[in-house]
Structure 1
Amino acid sequence: MFQELKNKKVLFITTKNLDYLRNTQELRLLREQAAQVSVIGVKDKSYPLRLIKVFFKLLFTSCKKYDVVFVGFAPQLIVPFWSFKFKRSELYIDFFISMYDTLCFDRKKFSPDSFAGKRLLNIDKKTLRQADKIICDTKAHGNYFAQELGAHPEKLQVLYLEADKSIYYPRHGEKPQEARGKFTVLYFGSVLPLQGIEVVLEAMNRLKDDPNFCFYFIGPIGQDIQKPQGKNIHYRHWLSQDELAQYIDFSDLCLAGHFNAKIQKAKRTIPGKAYLYHAVGKPMILGENLANHELFSEQEKGIYFVEMGSGEKLAEKIKKIANIGR
C-alpha cells in the first residue's frame, strides 16, 4: 500500500486522536514507504480542542516542502477550509465516512432536504472533488461515494481496517464461572443505529430461557431500550480494550453484524468488531451484505452470515452453530 509514495515527503494531518486505530494503521503504512512523514495531530480527548489546535498548527505550517498532504479521519473538517495551502502537493484523504450519509440517514440528525443536510452534501462533494487520491474502507462504500457524491472512481483506493494484534490475539483463557459449560455468545458495540442492537436483543430474548447458552452484551444501552433479562444474560456497560480482548477470547461465538436492514450504510461497511474477532480467531456471525463479502466467506471456517434485520433468523443461526459444536 502507498508504494507510489516511496522517497516522498508526506505531511499527515488528523483531527482524530493520534492513537485512533485508523491513524496508527495509516501512519505505519506511510512510514514504510515515504522518505519522511511529518504529523499534525494532538492527543487531547476533547474533539473541539483537538480541532482548534490542529487549525492553529496548520496556520503556521508551510506545506510547500511536502510532496503529499494526507488528511486522515474526517477530511471534511480540514480540506474545504485549508485546501489553499495544499495546492503544490498531492492531496490524499481518508474519506472514512460521509458526513451527509452519517448525519442524515444513519443517525437522522437532519433531513437530507434541510439547509444543514444540503450543506453537509456540498461539503462532502467539495472535499472529494479536491482530492487526488481517496482512501475508503470498503469497495461498497467507494461505489456509494462515486455514485451519490461524485467521487472520481479512478481516485478511489480501498484500505480495510485492521485489529491491533498486540491486544487482540488468541489467549486461550478460562471462562468466568457463570459461562462454564455453556455456549457463550458475545456482542459489543457503541449502540449506533446502523449496528442494529434491537436485532441482537431480540435474538437474546428468544434464547434467554435456554440454559445451554450464556450471553454477554457489552455496550452503553440507554434506559429507553428494553433489555431482555435472564440468568444467562449478562450486561457490561463498557470494558477496556484488554478486558474486551479477554471476553472475546473466552467466547464461543461473536456477533459482528451490522444487523440493521433499514440503514443503507450498514450494508456498505464492515463492522470494526469483525476485524477484532477475526484476529482472535473466533467464529462470528456477519450481516448478509456485499461489504462483508469483500473480505469474508462462509467457505472459511468460523464465518457465518445471517439475514439483516431479523432477530428470529439471528437466534436460529446461533442455535444452529451451537449444535454444530456439540
Structure 2
Amino acid sequence: MTESRLLNLLKGKNVVYITVKNEDYIRTSQIKWILAENAKKFRIYSSEKGNPVTRAIDIRKKLRSISFEGVDVVIAGFLPQLIWKDLIKYTLGTGIIVIAEMFISLYDTVVLDRRLVWKRGIIAHICKLFDRTVVKKSDYIITDTKADADFFVKEFGTEKDREKFETLYLEADLGDYISANVVLDKNDDAEPKTVLYFGTGLPLQGTDYVAKAFNVLAEEYGYNCIYIGGLSNMNRKHKNRLLSCKDRAIRCGKGSITYYKWLGQKELYENIANASVCLAGHFDPDIDKADRTIPGKAMIYEALGKTMILGDTKANREIFEPDDKHIFVPRGDSKRIVKAVTNEVDR
C-alpha cells in the first residue's frame, strides 16, 4: 500500500479500532494488518452478532468497559453512525483523533439501495442526519472508493469536508492460505469447467442476472456452476431452482448447478481456487450504489489470481483495467455475462 496521510496518523501510535462488524470480515482483517505494520500498539473490538443493529448494541455495551487512557487514535469502522454518539461521549475533549471508516452510508443503504423506506420520510431523514453527523464531526474519513467519497461529500458535507477524505481500497489478506493450499496460475484446461459466484444477496449485486446466466451456462454450454450465499432478493423462480441444488450438484442439461448457503473460509477459498472463472459484479443496473462500490469478493479473486467477470462500473475501473484477468460486462445483462464466460473459458 502506498504512503498516505492515514499511515502517518497511525505510525508509532496507540490505536483502538472499533468496528460494527465481525472479526474475520475482509475490511476488519485489512485494518488489523495495517495496524500491525504501523501502530506502536493496538486493540480491536468487533462483534459476532447476526446483524448491524445487534452488533451496534453489542459494541455500545463494550464501549463502557474500553479504556481510552493513553490512546492516540480511534478508528470507528463499517457503520460508525450506529455507535457515534456513544463513542464521542468517551473521546470528546481527550485529544484523541477520531477516524471514521465509512464503509457504507446508512441513507444510501436503507433508502437508495434496499429501498426499505420512503426517500422523503422521517426514517430517511434520520439516516441522512446520522451520516452527516459523522462526516461533520470526525477528524478524518476513510472510504473504499473515490466514487463513494464524492457521494459522501455531495450528500452529507461540503467541499471543505473533502480534505478529510482518503480512499483505502479493499485488499484481501489470505494469510498462509495461498502458500499452503493454492497453486496460482493453475492449468484451467482440465475438465469440467467451473463458474463460481458468492455473495450475500444484496440488491446491488444483481443476483437475478447471475442466476439467469448460470441456467444458460449449465444447460446449453455444459459448465458446472457454483452459487454460494444469499438469495433474499432473488426472483422466486431462480431462488427455488437454486434451493433444489442445495449442497449437491444437480444436473441441468449438459452441466450442473450447486448451491451452498454458506461455506467456511477454507472451503470457500478452495472452491474459488478450483474455479475456471469467477463472477464478481456488481450487476444491478438501477441502483447507483452498484456503480460506486467495489465487490469485496473481487479482492479475494485477485489475491487468488483468478479470472473474473466485473460489472462495468466507475468503482471497478478505479483499480481494474480490462485485460485477460478482468472482463467487464454492462450491468443488467445476463447474456453478456454468458458471453464473457464462454469467450474466456473456451478460448
Which stretch of the first structure deviates more once superposed, 20-29 or 222-231?
Answer: 222-231
The CA deviation at 1:108 is: 1.3
Secondary structure, aligned partner of 2:283: coil
Check whether the contact 1:62–1:85 (CA below 8 A) recurs between aligned residues. no
Q: Distance in 2 between matches of 1:269 and 1:314?
A: 19
Check whether the contact 2:26–2:296 (CA below 8 A) recurs between aligned residues. no
The CA deviation at 1:38 is: 3.2
Matches within 5 A, 1:278-297: 278-297=302-321
2:327 is the alignment partner of 1:304:
yes
Secondary structure, aligned partner of 1:215: strand
Check whether the contact 1:80–1:127 (CA below 8 A) recurs between aligned residues. no
Check whether the contact 2:13–2:73 (CA below 8 A) recurs between aligned residues. yes
Which stretch of the first structure deviates more once superposed, 7-16 or 59-68?
Answer: 59-68
2:154 is the alignment partner of 1:153:
no
* Residue 337 of structure 2: aligned partner: 314
The CA deviation at 1:48 is: 5.5
Q: What is the one-letter code of the residue matched to 2:325?
A: G
Check whether the contact 1:167–1:245 (CA below 8 A) recurs between aligned residues. no
The CA deviation at 1:66 is: 2.1
Check whether the contact 2:19–2:45 (CA below 8 A) recurs between aligned residues. yes
Check whether the contact 2:20–2:79 (CA below 8 A) recurs between aligned residues. yes
Check whether the contact 2:208–2:235 (CA below 8 A) recurs between aligned residues. no
Q: Distance in 1 between matches of 2:145 and 2:198?
A: 22
Check whether the contact 1:199–1:310 (CA below 8 A) recurs between aligned residues. yes
The CA deviation at 1:297 is: 0.8
Which stretch of the first structure deviates more once superposed, 80-89 or 305-314?
Answer: 80-89
Matches within 5 A, 1:91-170: 91-150=98-157, 152-166=161-175, 169=178
2:71 paired residue among 56, 66, 70: 66
2:297 paired residue among 251, 273, 296: 273
2:80 is the alignment partner of 1:75:
yes
Matched length = 319
The CA deviation at 1:187 is: 1.2
The CA deviation at 1:140 is: 1.0
Q: What is the one-letter code of the residue matched to 1:101?
A: D
Secondary structure, aligned partner of 2:236: coil
The CA deviation at 1:61 is: 4.2
2:193 paired residue among 153, 166, 183: 183
Q: Distance in 2 between matches of 1:45 and 1:212?
A: 37
* Residue 256 of structure 2: aligned partner: 233
Distance change in 2, residues 1:125/1:65 (3 Å): same
Q: Distance in 2 between matches of 1:312 and 1:50?
A: 39
Q: Distance in 1 between matches of 2:258 and 2:222?
A: 18
Q: Distance in 1 between matches of 2:290 and 2:51?
A: 27
Distance change in 2, residues 1:215/1:123 (3 Å): same
Unaligned runs of 5+ in 1: none
* Residue 279 of structure 2: aligned partner: 255
2:346 paired residue among 315, 323, 326: 323
Q: Distance in 2 between matches of 1:125 and 1:318?
A: 42
Check whether the contact 2:102–2:141 (CA below 8 A) recurs between aligned residues. yes
Secondary structure, aligned partner of 2:237: coil
Secondary structure, aligned partner of 2:216: helix
Q: Distance in 2 between matches of 1:116 and 1:75?
A: 18
2:256 is the alignment partner of 1:210:
no
Distance change in 2, residues 1:320/1:38 (3 Å): closer
Q: Distance in 1 between matches of 2:50 and 2:256?
A: 33
Q: Distance in 1 between matches of 2:286 and 2:209?
A: 12
* Residue 221 of structure 1: aligned partner: 231
Q: What is the one-letter code of the residue matched to 2:227?
A: F
The CA deviation at 1:104 is: 0.7
Q: How does the TM-score come out when normalised to structure 1? A: 0.88
Distance change in 2, residues 1:167/1:288 (3 Å): farther
Identity, % of aligned positions: 35
* Residue 171 of structure 1: aligned partner: 182
Distance change in 2, residues 1:165/1:61 (3 Å): closer
Q: How does the TM-score come out when normalised to structure 2? A: 0.83
Q: What is the one-letter code of the residue matched to 1:106?
A: D
Unaligned runs of 5+ in 2: 242-250
The CA deviation at 1:294 is: 1.2
* Residue 13 of structure 1: aligned partner: 18
Q: Distance in 2 between matches of 1:33 and 1:266?
A: 32
Distance change in 2, residues 1:112/1:164 (3 Å): same
Check whether the contact 2:68–2:91 (CA below 8 A) recurs between aligned residues. yes
